[in-house]
Structure 1
């Protein structure tokens, strides 16, 4: 998990995202670019067009699943940038943050889930095993703090600290909004349609 400043966020905003998944996304992009260059150079048949369409679809999936999802916390709100939806939660509307298998924000009885930093039971068990192995290499206080904690846990802790620093303002609107993430939708739909069309043409 990495927490930092995302280039397109407001000054002072903090961004939480998965470094490992993001690396995989960029790795696919590089792989796809190299293969598309090879197809453009040597491809001369419909099979090459189908392969190129599939590569582009893979790029769309990599963007929507690995590169775009993040949690952004700024002075006004927390934003969950999920696969196809963006959720904006003003600080005043958030009752609490909870962790576990994912980062959750509670607004009254409603629970909002962030797609990024999801943790499976297997990943949590693996994290605990790794922490035990590292115990001897770290000071006792640090080892105790790290033991059994995942990237999801650290993100929730930091979001709680940020929430505590934002006092409620009764005069500030606290409406949770959810909008479609059109760049992600287009990144998936356009190459998806192209892939279907090229496969149909190739099968005729």
Structure 2
């Protein structure tokens, strides 16, 4: 009689970090660009329709790159940073720190710095969060709950960028704990394989956005030169 297979270690669902304001602005800008270019192509004369088409071909990928594309995908094993023109994939073992100063940045063990475009830092939001925390400390200086105290958890009282940094650091700590468990041999086979299946850092350029933007720019320059 065979012994039952031990349950696998729980894995944590992937988390996605994106800028809601960036998504809204990107959609609005794309609609505006399409409306202006469409109007010029249908009503323009001479080279105007072609100029509008070239400008749209150049501008649309740039709008997508800087507003809709940025995202950060984090799991219990690795992190994938999708910036405007690059996608960086890193195992947590290569991550040294994640910080949010004037921008959100990730530092690797080798000292390389990557900016997280999907997690913008709002100094105004950070000041509002600091004022809320200050008011709570004034209302409840000894940790007792008063009628005016904010009883939400600590993460709910910080700015969105700082909250994202706390989440990413928590995932990095969990990944480190799993690696340590696997190294000591006290974890299950699934936990050990999840911890040891570390891939090398990789960087991929967004050719699907760079190529049409470059083609549109070249076409626009040629049309202006011959016009």
Task: Give, in whole Å, the separation in 2 of the partners of 1:129 and 1:94.
Answer: 28
* Aligned equivalents of 2:198, 2:21: Cα separation in 1: 36
Aligned in 2, Cα 1:33/1:115: closer, same or farther, shift over 3 Å? same
- Please report how far the alpha carbon of residue 75 of structure 1 lies from its aligned counterpart in structure 2 after TM superposition: 4.3
* TM superposition score normalised by structure 2: 0.70
Match of residue 157 from structure 1: 166
Structure showing greater Rg: 2
Q: Offset at 1:24?
A: 0.9
Q: Is the 8 A contact 2:19 2:120 kept in 1?
A: no
Shift of 1:113: 2.4
Give 1:26-41 correspondences, 5 Å limit: 26-41=27-42
- In the other structure, the counterpart of 1:200 is 225
Gap runs ≥5 in structure 1 = 1-10
Kindly tell me: are residues 187 and 150 of structure 1, through their superposed partners in 2, closer, same or farther at Cα, counting changes over 3 Å?
A: farther
Q: Is the 8 A contact 1:15 1:72 kept in 2?
A: yes
CA distance in 2 between counterparts of 1:144 and 1:162 reads 17
Deviation larger for 64-73 or 99-108: 99-108
Question: Gaps spanning 5+ residues in structure 2: where?
Answer: 1-11, 137-147, 184-195
Per the alignment, in what secondary structure is the counterpart of residue 39 of structure 2?
helix
- C-alpha RMSD of the superposition: 2.8
Q: Provide the residue aligned with 2:140 in structure 1.
A: none
Give the SS at the match of 2:198: coil
TM-score for both structures, normalised by structure 1: 0.76
